Amino acid sequence: MNMRDVARRAGVSSATVSRVLNGSPLVTERTATRVREVLDKMGYIPNPHATTLKYGRSKTYGLIVPDIWNPFYAEFLGAFEHLVREIDYELLFTNVEDDAKLVSSVRRMLMRQVDGAVLMASEFDTKAIEPLLLHKVPLVTVDRRAVQTGCSDVAIDFESGFQHAVKHLKELGHCQLGFIGGTEGLKTSRVRFQAFRSALEHNGLTFHQEFVCTGNYRVDGGDLAVRALWERPMRPSAVLTVNDLTAFGVIRGLHRMGFAVPRDVSVVGVDDLLLSDVMQPELTTIRVPRQRMAAVCLEALNYTKEDVHRRGRRFSVPTEFIVRESTVHASCSEKTRAK
Amino acid sequence: MNMRDVARRAGVSSATVSRVLNGSPLVTERTATRVREVLDKMGYIPNPHATTLKYGRSKTYGLIVPDIWNPFYAEFLGAFEHLVREIDYELLFTNVEDDAKLVSSVRRMLMRQVDGAVLMASEFDTKAIEPLLLHKVPLVTVDRRAVQTGCSDVAIDFESGFQHAVKHLKELGHCQLGFIGGTEGLKTSRVRFQAFRSALEHNGLTFHQEFVCTGNYRVDGGDLAVRALWERPMRPSAVLTVNDLTAFGVIRGLHRMGFAVPRDVSVVGVDDLLLSDVMQPELTTIRVPRQRMAAVCLEALNYTKEDVHRRGRRFSVPTEFIVRESTVHASCSEKTRAK
DNA sequence: CTGTTAGCGCTTTCAA
DNA sequence: TTGAAAGCGCTAACAG
């Protein structure tokens, strides 16, 4: 059943029905009421594909995330989907494990004529997103720390987060701080690592390359990395990580090697997953607010959409340092610091 | 740029281009090759909205989940999205916290003309999904344990899962088994509770109503429920739960009351989340295989789609009982069983 | 204030 | 084996 059917039953033209549906002021209240009644009675359901076909606007936003199995992205998705629905938009969600999937995701976004897209996929050589830019799709990236025509960026303020974390650890007497990073070569890994390094500097602590190891943003990566780290001649008394999953892995790895967190080593995560205060020990972490982030992404999308021929803007999302149980005073027991 | 443009450049009609794109055999290999070249060179991107408009098929499946913040659904989503993309379909994902959102989700599915939908939303009074049925959208529900015209059901074999779990606990010397359920009134809660009860029976254990309490499928629900349970005059020596999050909550609740798992109480979950073997203690649980489940849902969707006027079929997904650290021999210390 | 109409891009039927 | 043409449902421009 379509507008014409409704129009016929209401004794008007389909244009009038369309006007009523779109809240045009060019309709008498009397007519509008009658039309609305018929609309209701017939249970009319609009067909947005017709509009998309004609005008190229789909009321759909794309969202690309790198790993939906990481609860951080699931939680972000929940928040983002909620906001998108509030403004009566649709969400085209895609998970992207590898480059091939990124390419196909971009193609799908183009096909479905999305009105904008948020890209959290960790690695785009800018190559993969070019088609989107070319087709003037408003874009928002997260933590790419770069903008360009038609593409804004949302930066998470890890700098501040790590500074609080390092300060906290220093106050607890830790001066040998380790860091377990994310996947080698990813921009987001570098951003967090740099934030860690400059936090050390700001707090007057020295950076030790031998206290740094690379993970993969997942539990197993943190586990493996901390084992590798603990093979080395010197060991840190506290370890900061690239995200909570990595921190969980670090805790598990230490535990399995016979060390206890926080007794022997303090650990700090990043994200504050819903489960981070359920883990034992409850995780001290740099919280990345998903709700807020989703709102800022949408704001950035709107800004970019206003004029796709304009250079994008940088947006920022604050972090919050949350102290729980995984960080305590440095034990000073040498056993944790040297083999 | 559209098919006409491509056709013109290739010196053929748009019909021929369409045929090439759809792999029709009615085109000379020579023509097809030329068309494909032009297609490539021009970077043609098809517009599926046109097809949807004309033929009502969208190559899109809907997915409704009740709580994307529960990693179980995120993990399922990941698996399902992967499969859906493999067959070149799109996914229309919606999270549904309450009834209002269910209604609007259903409407969106209808608007977007999905070719089928999987409903994991816990509570539909069948009322909310009626419009879908009415519009002949092939449906698949999960654990509704009922089928009807155009709607199949995928049942997770909790019966077998709980039987293994109860047998395991009995062998460890537990005979006072408690159960923390899901949200009151939900079909999925009842299904799991019944599975628990009949597992007791099968294993010759008596059911005690005072060992049963209701949660909400989330951590806080498990926490609260076990505290309520522990207020009662008698306490179980082992607790089974409706899902892993609830089990996490139970463990945390017990812990905060000064009891240790598994030393004082054994706990069993359901799901086997990715983080279930990262928690301390690693959780003994009834695994619900997401990958398999996604595949069966798709199979069920295909079956239903074959003929929407036919009664749906029942499908089944096996579970697997996984023993980890949260279950040990009954301590027999009376302190856990009476105040 | 309301109606008429064109046309978005695609696939399929029919004709050649 | 190929082409011509219709028509899906909608909205906006234009006419009345």
pLDDT in 10s for each residue of chain B, 339 residues: 999 999 999 999 999 999 999 999 989 999 999 999 999 999 999 999 999 999 999 999 999 999 999 999 999 999 999 999 999 999 999 999 988 899 999 999 999 999 999 999 766 667 888 999 999 999 999 999 999 999 999 999 999 999 999 999 999 999 999 999 999 888 999 999 999 999 999 999 999 999 999 999 999 999 999 999 999 999 999 999 999 999 999 999 999 999 999 999 999 999 999 999 999 999 999 999 999 999 999 999 999 999 999 999 999 999 999 999 999 998 754 444 444
DSSP H stretches of helix in B275-316 = 290-306
Give φ, ψ of A150 to 5 degrees.
Answer: 75, 10
pLDDT at B124: 63
Q: How far is CA B242 from CA A339, B180, B190, B320, in A?
A: 45, 6, 10, 15
DSSP lists the bridge partners of residue A64 as: A94, A119
Are A278 and B71 inside 8 Å of each other by CB? Answer: no
- For B93, which of A93, A107, A255 is closest by C-beta distance? A93
pLDDT category of residue A334 using cuts at 50, 70 and 90? very low
DSSP A18-77: HHHHTT-SSS-HHHHHHHHHHHHHHT----HHHHHHHHS--SEEEEEES-TTSHHHHHHH
In this structure, the strands spanning A320-322 and A284-287 are antiparallel
Mapping DSSP to helix (H, G, I), strand (E, B) and coil, where does residue B160 land?
A: helix
pLDDT at B121: 79
Are A78 and B69 inside 8 Å of each other by CB? Answer: yes
- Nearest-angstrom CA–CA distance, B299 and B293: 10
pLDDT category of residue A11 using cuts at 50, 70 and 90? very high
pLDDT category of residue A207 using cuts at 50, 70 and 90? very high
Q: Is the CB of A42 under 7 A from strand D?
A: no
For A265, what's the count of Cα atoms within 13 Å in the CB-facing half-sphere?
Answer: 31
pLDDT at A125: 64
Q: Tell me if B53 sits within 8 A of A49, measured CB to CB.
A: yes
Q: Is the CB of B175 under 7 A from strand C?
A: no
A318 CB neighbour count, 10 Å cutoff:
14
Residue labelled with tokens 């529960």: B70
Q: What is the mean pLDDT of chain B?
A: 94
Looking at per-residue pLDDT, the higher value among B121 and A212 belongs to: A212
Mapping DSSP to helix (H, G, I), strand (E, B) and coil, where does residue B195 land?
A: helix
pLDDT at B34: 94
- For A278, which of B45, B90, B219 is closest by C-beta distance? B219
Q: What is the pLDDT of residues A265-276, one digit of tens each?
A: 999 999 999 999
Protein CA at B125 to nucleotide C1' at D14, angstroms: 49
Beta-strand ranges (E) seen in chain A are 60-65, 90-95, 117-119, 139-142, 151-156, 177-181, 212-214, 238-241, 266-271, 284-287, 314-317, 320-322
pLDDT at B122: 65
A122 CB neighbour count, 10 Å cutoff:
21
Q: Is the pLDDT of residue A331 over 90?
A: no
The widest CA-to-CA distance across chain B, in whole angstroms, is 88
Q: How far is CA A152 from CA A116, A148, A279, A311, in A?
A: 11, 7, 36, 8
Query: Letter for the amino acid at B94?
Result: T
Q: What is the mean pLDDT of chain A?
A: 94
For B193, what's the count of Cα atoms within 13 Å in the CB-facing half-sphere?
Answer: 21
Q: What is the pLDDT of residues A157-183, one digit of tens each?
A: 999 999 999 999 999 999 999 999 999
Mapping DSSP to helix (H, G, I), strand (E, B) and coil, where does residue B275 land?
A: helix
Q: Is the pLDDT of residue A123 over 80?
A: no
Give φ, ψ of B282 to 5 degrees.
Answer: -60, 135
Contacts of B122 (CB under 8 A, 6+ apart): B66, B183, B186, B187, B188
Give, to the nearest 10 degrees, the angle between helix A244-256 and helix A71-86.
Answer: 160
Contacts of B61 (CB under 8 A, 6+ apart): B84, B89, B90, B91, B92, B114, B115, B116, B117, B118, B301
DSSP lists the bridge partners of residue B315 as: B154
Angstroms from A46 CA to nearest CA on chain B? 6
Are A219 and B92 inside 8 Å of each other by CB? Answer: no
Please work out, in degrees rounded to the nearest 5, the angle formed at the alpha carbon of residue B267 by the alpha carbons of B199 and B171: 55
Q: Tell me if B101 sits within 8 A of B94, measured CB to CB.
A: yes
Taking the C1' atom of every nucleotide in all shown strands and the CA of B26, the nearest one is: D1
List bases, strand C, within 7 Å of protein CB: 1-5, 7-13
Mapping DSSP to helix (H, G, I), strand (E, B) and coil, where does residue A317 land?
A: strand
Q: What is the pLDDT of residues A274-314, one digit of tens each?
A: 999 999 999 999 999 999 999 999 999 999 999 999 999 99
Protein CA at A33 to nucleotide C1' at C1, angstroms: 15
This model's pTM is above 0.85: yes
pLDDT at A122: 65
